Amino acid sequence: MTRLRRAARLAVWPPTFGDSSGVAVAPPRPDWCCSMQSESQLQARLGSATDPARLAGIPSLALTGQHTVPFADRAAPRRATGSFFAELGDDPAADDSESASRAMLREALDSLVTLIERVAGPEMRGSVLLLDDDGITLRHGGAPNLPIEYCKLIDGLCIGPIAGSCGTAAFRKERVIVRDIASDPLWAPYRDLVAPFNLRACWSTPIIDSGGTVLGTFAMYYEEPREPTPSDIQLTDTATLLAKNVIKRARATTKLRARTDAAERLAIALQESEARFRMMAETIPVQVWTAKPDGMLDYVTRRTANYFGTPQSALLGDGWSAMVHPDDLPRASTRWQHSLETGESYDVEFRLRSRDGEYRWHMVRAEPMLDAEGNIVQWFGCTADIEEHKRLEAALDVAAAESRHANRSKADFLAMMSHELRTPLNAIGGYVQLMLDGIPNPATEGQLNYLRRILKSQNHLLSLIEAVLTHAKIEAGKLTYQVTEVVAHEVLAVVDSLTAPQRKAKRMRYDCSACDQKLVFRADKQKLVQILLNVLSNAIKFTPDEGCITVSTSVVAPDLGAITIRDTGLGMSPEELALVFEPYVQFDNSLSREHKGTGLGMPISREMARAMGGDLGATSEPGVGSTFTLTLPLDRRASAT
């Protein structure tokens, strides 16, 4: 029986998603439901490559009226489960597969909401409600940061013209924005319900599939009255698109489970009669075949023969090989021979020629049927057309290649522009220096002051251009490294002398007494100096006058050392700390406002550290200071000497 059930599962592989024959039809909507809205602009951008109709795979299993399932009355009937989304809560009567499907949906929706909350900011709390199959009732889907009591209260509420933000959005099939829950008439029936939870603003967007059916809603809650920004609207559109895909996948899982149950019922027919087995095979909308233990085909369905436009007899034995693409035949035959010799499952993809002469990609799977002694008595296989899936994969590969090319082009452009800008700036600096030296004529004190400002700005621009150029090289993978033995005291002495004027100007204390000067790293000396200089310069910039900077070294692993730079500056909030290594991010405060940079120093430093086999990390506490730790490989032999 186990072998027969395995065979029946293969008979309906692979499952179909998006086939019109497998989609549940919702009950008629009440008269007050409005008409379907058009697809959102965000969905339209995805193009035809992701049109659900193009992703439709093999049609679902369909038995004609004259082909009744033999012995179906002997199969144990499934428990009536009703709506999948109506039973998201724990159900002791549900089987393991149902519970797993619901748990996966809850987890996926919670993860999606959490991600959107992180992007939107700490003030926002998201929620996904799911529309039941009755088309009226909203059920809790995911809201990891809304009060549990509130989620329980709104679970089971009905949609309508005055049903809060979510119920109204599902009813209208359009976004509903409520700036102030306490005064908006849409929330009048639920104002007392929501009052204890301090929720003041809520805008909700319906989740609509490609056929115009409302699947649920995505909502943003805030604890103070407010209106959405354009970024909030864009983020909501993204969230609803992602939620739609999650919900459709959950429904597909439910349909897959139903098809699996149908296959188990068909397995009973296999046990009773070979004739009934062949009748069943003909109803399966894939190519079904069986083979002898030696691999010679002894049966193919009429559907298979019709696909190739040949008699069934022409495909028996090894006749099937004539339909395989010449380039794929050696691989398909070798893998088939391996399965015959080892008894392993046969699972391979290759191209087959249809009756129209077109080669299309197929996935072929076969399982051996064993007798009581474990000997192979027959092979049962099926072949599924996956041409559309292959085309989609190819389109995605092309899109990824184009994206990589665009990134390389951007990096090359930045590198070119940086070089072009550096040339005139160097000329400006040279002429200013000549004028400062009194060539051709001595300048007045006022002119000298202006010239010094020009030179200072020129140097600042050069540093910004150098940062952009370095970042472009890193993105293009063109930054080179000369890794050698670097003694700690050499680089620490360099950065000490380079930053001494800035520290002196702010009367800062500098402590390097905890450094092991004999420690030897494996690194590019110039890149290491640049990393330390970036970190120390930031520490000086963000530390008030008379502050303190401490530098220390340590061995964190047998072959890994660390240089730690700690300051007593302003520190960073958790939100700022999460962005400190992101490109082009700048923190605005009174200490840094005078000398704005590009926001590339820390990202470049981390990339350099990682390219040399180390890393750069940071911790911080507002009002206390920040600590940056650079780790790099050690040269233990050189350190020992």
Q: DSSP code of 570?
A: -
pLDDT of residue 99: 67
Q: What are phi and psi of 362, to 5 degrees?
A: -135, 150
User: What residue has token string 């019922």?
Assistant: 265
- Mean pLDDT check: name the lowest of 49-58, 280-289, 437-446: 49-58
Structural domain boundaries, residue 214 = 106-251
Phi/psi zone of residue 82: left (φ > 0), alpha (ψ -120 to 50 degrees), beta?
left
Number of C-beta neighbours around residue 23 at 10 A: 15
234 pLDDT exceeds 60?
Answer: yes
Same domain (yes/no): 492, 636: yes
Residue 65 resides in a domain: no
Structural contact between residues 388 and 54, judged by C-beta atoms closer than 8 angstroms: yes
Interval 517-549: pLDDT, tens: 888 999 998 889 989 988 998 899 889 999 999
Q: Are 471 and 492 members of one domain?
A: no
Helix (H, G, I), strand (E, B) or coil at 575: helix
The percent of residues in the chain predicted with pLDDT above 90, rounded, is: 32
Encode burial over 83-115: b for 16+ CB neighbours within 10 A, e otherwise.
bbbbbbeeeeebeeebeebbeebbebbbebbee
Select from 383, 402, 411 the least CA-distant residue to 478. 411
The 3-state secondary structure of 528-562 reads: HHHHHHHHHHHHHHCCCCCCEEEEEEEEEECCEEE
484 or 43: which carries more pLDDT confidence? 484
Residue 591 lies in a domain: yes
Determine the angle formed by the axes of helices 445-476 and 601-611, rounding to 10 degrees: 40
CA 417 from centre of chain = 33
Q: Are 321 and 335 in contact (CB under 8 A)?
A: no
Amino acid code (one letter) for 383? T
Give the torsion through C-alpha atoms of 628, 634, 636, 640, to 10 deg: -50
Q: How confident is the model at residue 279 (pLDDT cuts 50, 70, 90)?
A: low
Query: Is the same domain home to 507 and 614?
Result: yes
**Statement to judge: residues 439 and 498 lie in one domain:** no
Q: Distance between CA atoms of 61 and 260, rounded to whole angstroms?
A: 10
Which residues, including other chains, have CB under 8 Å from residue 507's CB and lie 6 or more apart? 545, 546
**Among 634, 637, 606, 605, CA closest to 486:** 634
Residue 88 forms part of a structural domain: no
Least confident window among 319-323, 460-464, 591-595:
591-595
Copy the structure tokens of residue 378: 């027959």
DSSP 569: S
The per-residue pLDDT for 582 is 83
Decide if 426 is inside a domain: yes
Among residues 320, 353, 385, which one ends one of the domains? 385
pLDDT band at 288 (very low <50, low <70, confident <90, very high): confident
Q: Give the mean model confidence (pLDDT) for residues 576-584.
A: 83
Predicted confidence (pLDDT) at residue 268 exceeds the cutoff of 50: yes
Closest CA to 43 of 246, 253, 216, 245: 245
Q: Are residues 555 and 431 in the same domain?
A: no
Are 378 and 456 contained in the same domain?
no
pLDDT the model gives residue 50: 35
Q: Is the C-alpha dihedral spanning 100, 101, 107, 111 positive or negative?
A: positive
Question: What digits encode the pLDDT tens for the residues 586-627?
Answer: 665 554 444 455 567 788 888 889 999 999 999 999 989 999
- How far apart, in Å, do the first and last CA atoms of the chain sit? 72
DSSP 347: E
Give mean pLDDT, residues 312-318.
87
Angstrom distance (rounded) from CA 98 to CA 104: 10
**Residue 204 clears pLDDT 70, i.e. is over it:** yes
**Residue ending a domain, choose from 342, 360, 385:** 385
The residue length of the chain stands at 641
- pLDDT at position 400: 82
Structure tokens at 433: 């220096």
pLDDT at 371 (0 to 100) = 87
Least confident of 171-180, 226-235, 399-408, 568-577: 399-408
Q: Which two tokens stand for residue 484?
A: 């050698």
Give me the amino acid identity at 203. Answer: W
Residues 408 and 437 in one domain: yes
Same domain, 466 and 491: no
Please tell me which of 42-46, 96-100, 198-202, 245-249 the model is most confident about, judged by mean pLDDT.
198-202
**Exposure string (b/e) for 164-190, b if CB count within 10 Å is 16 or more?**
bbbbbbbbbbebbbbeebeebebbeeb
Could you give the strand order of the β-sheet that contains 176-178, starting from the edge strand earlier in sequence?
138-142, 125-131, 214-222, 201-208, 176-178
pLDDT at 164: 93
Q: CB of 546 within 8 A of CB of 574?
A: no
pLDDT at 257: 78
Identify the CATH number of the domain in which residue 527 sits.
3.30.565.10
- 554 pLDDT tier (thresholds 50, 70, 90): very high
| pLDDT beyond 50 at 186 | yes
Confidence of residue 282 (pLDDT cuts 50, 70, 90): low
- Check whether residue 147 and residue 191 sit in a common domain: yes
The number of folded domains in the chain is 4
Residues whose CB falls within 8 Å of the CB of residue 43, separated by 6 or more in sequence, listed in order: 210, 241
pLDDT of residue 68: 36
Is the pLDDT at 175 greater than 60? The verdict is yes
pLDDT at 38 over 80: no
Boundary (domain end) residue, out of 453, 476, 499: 476
Q: Which residue has the higher pLDDT, 274 or 397?
A: 397
CB of 189 closer than 8 Å to CB of 168: no
pLDDT higher at 636 or 280? 636
**Residue-level pLDDT at 124:** 93
Domain CATH for 238: 3.30.450.40
Predicted confidence band at 15 (pLDDT cuts at 50, 70, 90)?
Answer: very low
Q: What is the pLDDT of residue 566?
A: 94
| Beta strands in 294-435, from DSSP E residues, in sequence order | 297-300, 346-353, 359-370, 376-385
Same-domain check for residues 457 and 508: no
The reply to whether 35 falls in a domain is no
**Highest mean pLDDT range out of 30-34, 173-177, 328-332, 603-607?**
173-177
Give the rounded percent of residues in the chain with a pLDDT score beyond 70: 75
Higher pLDDT, 28 or 623: 623
Residue 528 included in any domain: yes
CB-side exposure of 302: number of CA atoms within 13 Å?
5
> Does residue 66 carry a pLDDT above 50?
no
Q: What is the tens place of the pLDDT at every residue in 116-150?
A: 999 999 899 999 999 998 999 999 999 999 999 99
Q: Under 8 Å CB-to-CB from 249, ≥6 apart: which residues?
A: 108
Which two three-digit tokens encode residue 406?
A: 């665009």
Dist CA 628 CA 362 (whole Å): 54
Report the alpha-carbon distance of residue 167 to residue 610 in Å, rounded: 50
Give the pLDDT band of residue 630 (cuts 50, 70, 90).
very high
Q: Indicate the average pLDDT of the chain.
A: 78
Look at residue 45 in the predicted model and tell me its pLDDT. 38
Using only the alpha carbons of the chain, give its radius of gyration: 34
Mean pLDDT of 239-256: 86
Q: What is the pTM of this model?
A: 0.37
Q: Answer for the pair 135, 167: CB distance below 8 angstroms, yes or no.
A: no
Do both 135 and 188 map to the same domain? yes
Does a structural domain hold residue 85?
no
**Model pLDDT, residue 142:** 92
**381, 422: one domain:** no
Q: Which helix (H) or strand (E) holds 615?
A: strand 615-621
Whether residue 125 lies inside any domain: the answer is: yes
